[in-house]
Amino acid sequence: MGGRGIAVVTGGGKGIGAAVCHRLAADGYRILLTYHTSSQAAEKVVKQICSDGGDAFAVRVDCSDPSEVYVLADHPWIRTATGGPVEVLVINHGRYDRMATDELTTEHLQRTMDTNFTGAFHVWKALAPHLTRDARIVVVGSQLGIRGSPHGGDYSASKAALHVWARSLAQAVGPKGQRVNILAPGYIDTAILEDDSSERRALREGEVPLRRIGTPEDMAGVVSFLVSDDSAYVNGAIIHANGGLYLP
Task: Return the percentage of the chain with pLDDT > 70, whole number.
Answer: 97
What are 53-100's pLDDT values in tens digits? 999 999 999 999 999 998 888 899 888 745 568 999 999 999 888 788
Instruction: For the domain made up of 6-241, give the CATH fold.
Output: Rossmann fold (3.40.50)
Residue 13 backbone dihedrals phi, psi, to 5 degrees: -85, -25
> Domain locations in the chain?
6-241
What are 7-27's pLDDT values in tens digits? 999 999 999 999 999 999 999
What are 143-187's pLDDT values in tens digits? 999 999 898 899 999 999 999 999 999 999 999 999 999 999 999
pTM, entire model = 0.94
**Catalytic residue list contains 233:** no
- Identify the pLDDT of residue 2: 44
Residue in 29, 35, 96, 155 annotated catalytic: 155
Closest by CA to 158, choosing from 112, 111, 101, is 112
